């Protein structure tokens, strides 16, 4: 039974999980039928066999066992996260939110508790989610949710309405009395229930993370260790005197070596970055293999990482030796140049510089963090992290959203100033880590899954190493040499650990190495979240453990920690739901500030509490990082983000009336407007879709010579329109209307989502942002060499003349 639990115990970083696992097991042992959550791990015979041998009981047990192992068991033990009320720690009267446009039932519980009870949520219909697809009757949808003239998803009262009803209304009237002419007029009014952001320029709805439609696509996954074996070698780094002990666990040899083999030979190789020009981020170098047969100290010259290999044979002389163990260990060892740079700033100012750790997980929306990683989310809520609920992405995928944080550039500006498709250009970008390094900080960057790394996927990456500590060479060596377990086509396991564990271990080592110095680190993982909404659930306890480690090691006393994502899941069945539309655009974002920093800056704490319910974006985060640097007193007057002049530090209160337009978020990516379903057969919708298809075909046509020879992209034609919606502009009358369209193209069955703007005066259309592709297309589009055109291109053999 215990392989999983035992193994977690054995893994270096798993005590918390093991404890949790034990608790669960106790409950499970109570009865025979209780083992359903873990049918395979706990054979019923084991327990039932100890009872008097009653054949009947045995048959019963076996039946139950078979039932629960053969039916797909959806784990009903979904943990419900208790989210603190928005006004919980703001000055002024509390619980105002509950007085607004809610049922009597909800009034009795504060907003936070209303959430904690799923049946109640569905009963009161607060966070209803309307599936966008299938939508067979467009005219119907207005009626399905609520009486006409109400927002289709979440309804809020006007200020007028609220005051008329008074502070202690007890009537049961819920949604219907609320009018959509609702317009926020009071900056100090609390955010009404059903919304995350509530201002005149932006109203972002709050959906139920556990709504039925999305839960149908979600299943909680168990944590499974990557290997039943403990690694034969581990690293013990002493951060005080820069020594690294490689511990050789001789006692484990038996579990690795076939019993008939007697001879074992182990050696390690130093891993280093290698290669020049376009190969700089592709190649790595491994040194001579140096033999060892016991624990030893690594020589000072080995600084980046090591590759360890062991071979076994029947005797020393035997020709056929078997590789029985391969592993890599990444190192964060101090560097003289970094020390020198730091010393230059020592004692210059009295202020204690704040370190920064950015820990990012790809493709996790705020709602999916709460859904798939509830223990982690609850821990963040319980320990005083600041949340940015209205953190809206600014572009489609990882690269532009991270570039906005790291450089303040949008995609087109970044491509024109520091084109990652030209060798050696990327480092021309004014990356955040350069500013930090120039101010005497140590810097690090690590990411998993080398082939899709942010700066390398269809790009050349860095010729000059970007940060003082750079994980990529070790990642390349490890991926080449270690065994892998794929999950949803990503390297979930790499060697004896989850790939993400390699990254988090590196982050902990980095922060520990520089615990007495200022540092800036970016640690990014793709492998347990990029392709599926359920995958992150297996890492929930693990992630919580790492957050606790940050605390235990004192890192939370030194650092601002930004725990965040770039966007939600971008494709797949979830994207066909309204929640998928919202989640793609609203990644999670939590910020930690050390106690001493909060005490020094009460105004920042106050601003963060307010900004929890304001529209924010990656450019704001960019300004915030520069703000952190300026607060160190080491540098001043840093430039703002070029692509968003109105963006500002999250440490200052965001204007209540912010809109996407103000902060460089194009309509297609903006979650501020409410959309209302319209008749997809209407002339306007037909024209708008025709415009999009024409736009795509023109783009393909212009780049027809960018395909593999003998291949062309098929001309896109309309299959069917799945959905048409029109934005209700929060700001009122505008010279344009925005239409949200989802349609299927032919050939290839591509599902596309576009937000098209129509200017009434000129009767002209415009694509906002870019066009999203909602289903996967990888193999259809291999002939196209231009990234963004792949999602449109259906490759066909061209006719031979
Ligand atoms: C669509 O809605 C209209 C009006 O509500 C109704 O008359 C019609 O039967 C519906 N069509 C379908 C296919 O449901
Ligand atoms: C609230 O209700 C109480 C008793 O029902 C009433 O006396 C009071 O005036 C009400 N307050 C407001 C603001 O309506
Ligand atoms: C480094 O510190 C460790 C533990 O404090 C000690 O065992 C080791 O001998 C030291 N090594 C050197 C080279 O000073
Ligand atoms: C380990 O290797 C050293 C030399 O490399 C050798 O002298 C020693 O006997 C070896 N020890 C064992 C236990 O094999
Ligand atoms: C590890 O990677 C290096 C570099 O590609 C390669 O030469 C070597 O054969 C690999 N080792 C194993 C055991 O796969
Ligand atoms: C945090 O750091 C400060 C200053 O170094 C120290 O005085 C304080 O004890 C630390 N707090 C914790 C909880 O470690
Ligand atoms: C990108 O930023 C530049 C410079 O700020 C701006 O001129 C341009 O319009 C922006 N492009 C887009 C697509 O937003
Ligand atoms: C937002 O409000 C401020 C004052 O509160 C005003 O100066 C500014 O013009 C407003 N911005 C917009 C876009 O309405
Ligand atoms: C493709 O055509 C355009 C103009 O039509 C030209 O500028 C470009 O160099 C061509 N690219 C290739 C790869 O031939």
Mean of per-residue pLDDT scores for the chain: 82
Look at residue 91 in the predicted model and tell me its pLDDT.
53
Look at residue 455 in the predicted model and tell me its pLDDT.
96
Please state whether the peptide bond connecting residue 747 to the residue before it is cis, i.e. omega within 30 degrees of 0.
yes
Look at residue 155 in the predicted model and tell me its pLDDT.
35
End-to-end CA distance of the chain: 65
Give distance in angstroms: CA of 331 to centre of ligand 5. Answer: 19
Are residues 750 and 794 in contact, defined by beta-carbon separation less than 8 angstroms? yes
Confidence band (pLDDT; 50, 70, 90) for 309?
Answer: very high
Ligand nearest to the CA of 168: 2
Give distance in angstroms: CA of 136 to centre of ligand 1. Answer: 9
In angstroms, the CA 39 to CA 18 distance is 18
Are residues 577 and 353 in contact, defined by beta-carbon separation less than 8 angstroms? no
Look at residue 39 in the predicted model and tell me its pLDDT.
32
Give distance in angstroms: CA of 703 to centre of ligand 9. Answer: 7
The closest-lying atom of ligand 1 relative to the alpha carbon of residue 137 is: 1
Look at residue 158 in the predicted model and tell me its pLDDT.
31
The closest-lying atom of ligand 7 relative to the alpha carbon of residue 644 is: 5
Look at residue 165 in the predicted model and tell me its pLDDT.
28
Give distance in angstroms: CA of 410 to centre of ligand 8. Answer: 24
Please state whether the peptide bond connecting residue 134 to the residue before it is cis, i.e. omega within 30 degrees of 0.
yes
- Is the pLDDT at 662 greater than 50? The verdict is yes
Look at residue 2 in the predicted model and tell me its pLDDT.
35
- Is the pLDDT at 180 greater than 80? The verdict is no
Q: Average pLDDT, stretch 631-636?
A: 92
Look at residue 152 in the predicted model and tell me its pLDDT.
34
Look at residue 756 in the predicted model and tell me its pLDDT.
96
Looking at per-residue pLDDT, the higher value among 172 and 278 belongs to 278
Q: Average pLDDT, stretch 228-247?
A: 95
In this predicted model, what pLDDT tens digit does every residue of 355-391 receive, in sequence order? 999 999 999 999 999 999 999 999 999 999 999 999 9
Least confident interval from 265-274, 323-332, 734-743: 734-743
- Is the pLDDT at 108 greater than 80? The verdict is no
In this predicted model, what pLDDT tens digit does every residue of 431-446 receive, in sequence order? 999 999 999 999 999 9
DSSP sequence for 391-442: E--SSSSHHHHHHHHHHS--HHHHHHHS-TTSTTTGGGS--HHHHHHHTT-E
- Is the pLDDT at 408 greater than 90? The verdict is yes
In this predicted model, what pLDDT tens digit does every residue of 68-79 receive, in sequence order? 555 444 455 889
Contact residues for 769 (Cβ-Cβ < 8 A; gap 6+): 395, 396, 666, 667, 668, 669, 755
Look at residue 50 in the predicted model and tell me its pLDDT.
56
Give me 377's structure tokens. 């989310």
Look at residue 170 in the predicted model and tell me its pLDDT.
31
Q: Where are the alpha helices (DSSP H) in 482-539?
A: 499-513
DSSP sequence for 190-218: PPPTTEEEEETTEEEE---TT-HHHHTT-
Look at residue 90 in the predicted model and tell me its pLDDT.
61
Closest residue by CA, ligand 2 atom 11: 168
Q: What is the largest CA-CA distance in the chain?
A: 93
Tell me how far CA of residue 251 lies from CA of 124, 194, 280, 309, in angstroms.
60, 58, 40, 17
Q: Which residues have any ligand 2 atom within 6 Å of their CB?
A: 166-168
Q: Average pLDDT, stretch 623-634?
A: 96
- Is the pLDDT at 294 greater than 80? The verdict is yes
Q: Which residues have any ligand 7 atom within 6 Å of their CB?
A: 410, 412-413, 642-643
- Is the pLDDT at 650 greater than 50? The verdict is yes
Q: What residues are paired with 497 via a beta bridge?
A: 494
- Is the pLDDT at 95 greater than 70? The verdict is no
136 C-beta closer than 6 A to ligand 1: yes
Backbone angles phi, psi at 668, to 5 degrees: -60, -30
Q: Average pLDDT, stretch 254-267?
A: 90
In this predicted model, what pLDDT tens digit does every residue of 435-493 receive, in sequence order? 999 999 999 999 999 999 999 998 999 999 999 999 999 999 999 999 999 999 999 99
Tell me how far CA of residue 529 lies from CA of 12, 101, 488, 574, 627, in angstroms.
23, 36, 9, 14, 30
Q: Which of helix, strand or coil describes residue 87?
A: coil
Look at residue 400 in the predicted model and tell me its pLDDT.
96
Q: State how beta strands 390-391 and 263-274 pair.
A: unpaired
Ligand nearest to the CA of 701: 9
Give the residue carrying structure tokens 């001789």.
250
Look at residue 116 in the predicted model and tell me its pLDDT.
34
Q: Average pLDDT, stretch 116-130?
A: 31
Look at residue 247 in the predicted model and tell me its pLDDT.
97
Look at residue 366 in the predicted model and tell me its pLDDT.
97
In angstroms, the CA 598 to CA 265 distance is 54
In angstroms, the CA 17 to CA 757 distance is 50
Give distance in angstroms: CA of 235 to centre of ligand 3. Answer: 14
pTM: 0.81
Which H or E run includes 759?
strand 751-759
In angstroms, the CA 785 to CA 641 distance is 31
Q: Average pLDDT, stretch 270-286?
A: 94
- Is the pLDDT at 80 greater than 60? The verdict is yes
305 secondary structure, DSSP code: E
pLDDT above 90 as % of the chain: 68
Q: Which of helix, strand or coil describes residue 690?
A: helix
Q: Which of 100, 163, 164, 166 to mutate to test the pocket of ligand 2 (most atoms within 8 A of CB)?
A: 166
Confidence band (pLDDT; 50, 70, 90) for 800?
Answer: low
Closest residue by CA, ligand 5 atom 12: 481
The closest-lying atom of ligand 8 relative to the alpha carbon of residue 659 is: 13
Give me 237's structure tokens. 């780094």
- Is the pLDDT at 125 greater than 80? The verdict is no
pLDDT above 70 as % of the chain: 79
Least confident interval from 42-56, 533-547, 643-657: 42-56
Look at residue 138 in the predicted model and tell me its pLDDT.
30
Q: Average pLDDT, stretch 14-39?
A: 38
- Is the pLDDT at 615 greater than 50? The verdict is yes
Confidence band (pLDDT; 50, 70, 90) for 681?
Answer: very high
- Is the pLDDT at 293 greater than 60? The verdict is yes
């Amino acid at each position: 039974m215990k392989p999983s639990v035992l193994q977690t115990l054995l893994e270096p970083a798993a005590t918390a999980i093991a404890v949790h696992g034990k608790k669960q097991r106790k409950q499970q042992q109570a009865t025979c039928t209780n083992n359903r959550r873990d049918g395979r791990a706990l054979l019923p015979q084991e327990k039932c066999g100890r009872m008097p041998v009653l054949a009947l009981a045995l048959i019963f047990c076996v039946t139950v066992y078979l039932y629960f192992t053969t039916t797909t068991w959806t784990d009903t033990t979904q943990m419900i996260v208790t989210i603190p009320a928005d006004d919980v720690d703001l000055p002024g009267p509390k619980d105002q939110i509950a007085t607004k446009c809610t049922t009597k039932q909800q009034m009795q519980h504060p907003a936070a508790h209303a959430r904690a009870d799923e049946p109640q949520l569905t009963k009161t219909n607060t966070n209803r989610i309307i599936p966008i697809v299938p939508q067979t009757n467009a005219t119907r949808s207005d009626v399905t949710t609520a009486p006409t003239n109400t927002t289709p998803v979440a309804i809020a009262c006007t200020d007028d309405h609220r005051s008329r009803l008074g502070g202690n209304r007890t009537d049961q009237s819920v949604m219907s009395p609320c009018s959509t002419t609702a317009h926020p007029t009071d900056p100090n009014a609390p955010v009404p229930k059903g919304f995350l952001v509530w201002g005149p320029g932006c109203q972002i709805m709050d959906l139920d993370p556990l709504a039925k439609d999305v839960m149908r696509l979600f299943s909680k996954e168990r944590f499974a260790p990557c290997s039943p074996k403990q690694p034969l070698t581990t690293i013990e780094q002493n951060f005080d005197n820069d020594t690294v002990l490689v511990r050789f666990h001789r006692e484990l040899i038996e579990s690795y070596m076939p019993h008939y083999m007697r001879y074992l030979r182990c050696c390690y190789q130093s891993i280093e970055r290698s290669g020049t020009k376009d190969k700089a981020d592709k190649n790595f170098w491994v040194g001579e293999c140096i033999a060892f047969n016991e624990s030893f100290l690594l020589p000072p010259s080995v600084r980046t990482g090591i590759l360890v290999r062991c071979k076994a044979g029947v005797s020393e002389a035997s020709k056929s030796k078997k590789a029985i163990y391969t592993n890599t260990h990444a190192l964060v060892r101090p560097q003289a140049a970094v020390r020198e740079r730091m010393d230059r700033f020592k004692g210059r100012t009295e202020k204690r510089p704040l370190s920064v750790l950015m820990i990012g997980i790809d493709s996790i929306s705020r709602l999916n963090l709460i859904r798939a990683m509830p223990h982690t989310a609850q821990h963040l809520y319980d320990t005083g992290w600041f949340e940015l609920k209205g953190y809206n992405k600014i572009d489609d995928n990882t690269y532009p959203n991270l570039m906005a944080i790291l450089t303040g550039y949008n995609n087109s500006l970044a491509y024109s100033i520091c084109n990652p498709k030209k060798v050696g250009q990327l480092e021309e970008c004014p990356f955040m880590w350069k500013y930090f390094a120039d101010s005497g900080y140590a810097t690090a960057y690590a990411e998993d899954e080398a082939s899709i790394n942010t700066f390398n996927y269809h790009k050349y990456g860095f010729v000059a190493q970007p940060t003082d500590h750079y994980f990529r060479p070790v990642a390349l060596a490890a991926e080449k040499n270690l065994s892998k377990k794929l999950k949803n086509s990503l390297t979930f396991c790499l060697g004896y650990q989850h790939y993400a564990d390699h990254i988090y271990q590196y982050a902990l080592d980095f922060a520990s190495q520089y615990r007495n110095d200022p540092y800036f680190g970016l640690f990014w993982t793709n492998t347990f979240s990029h392709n599926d909404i359920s995958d992150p659930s297996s890492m929930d306890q693990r992630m919580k453990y790492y957050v606790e480690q940050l605390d235990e090691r004192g890192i939370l006393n030194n650092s601002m920690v930004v725990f965040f994502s770039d966007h939600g899941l971008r494709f797949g069945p979830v994207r066909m739901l309204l929640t998928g539309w919202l989640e793609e655009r609203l990644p999670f974002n939590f910020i930690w500030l050390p106690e001493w920093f909060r005490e020094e800056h009460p105004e920042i704490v106050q601003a963060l509490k307010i900004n929890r319910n304001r529209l924010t974006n990656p450019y704001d985060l960019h300004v915030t990082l520069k703000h952190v640097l300026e607060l160190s007193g080491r540098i001043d007057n840093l430039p703002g983000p070029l692509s968003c002049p109105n963006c500002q530090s999250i440490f200052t209160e965001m204007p209540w009336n912010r809109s996407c337009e103000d902060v460089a978020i194009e309509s297609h990516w903006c979650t501020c407007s409410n959309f209302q379903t319209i008749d997809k057969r209407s002339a306007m919708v037909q024209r708008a879709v025709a415009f999009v298809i024409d736009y795509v075909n023109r783009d393909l046509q212009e780049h027809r010579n960018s395909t593999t020879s003998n291949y062309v992209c098929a001309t896109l034609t309309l299959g069917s329109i799945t959905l048409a919606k029109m934005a209700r502009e929060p700001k009122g009358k505008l010279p344009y209307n925005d239409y949200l369209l989802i349609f299927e193209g032919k050939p290839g069955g591509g599902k596309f989502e576009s937000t098209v703007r129509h200017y009434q005066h000129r009767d002209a259309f415009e694509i906002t942002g870019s066009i999203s592709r909602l289903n996967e297309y990888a193999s259809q589009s291999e002939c196209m060499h231009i990234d963004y055109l792949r999602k449109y291109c259906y490759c066909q053999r061209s006719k031979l003349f």
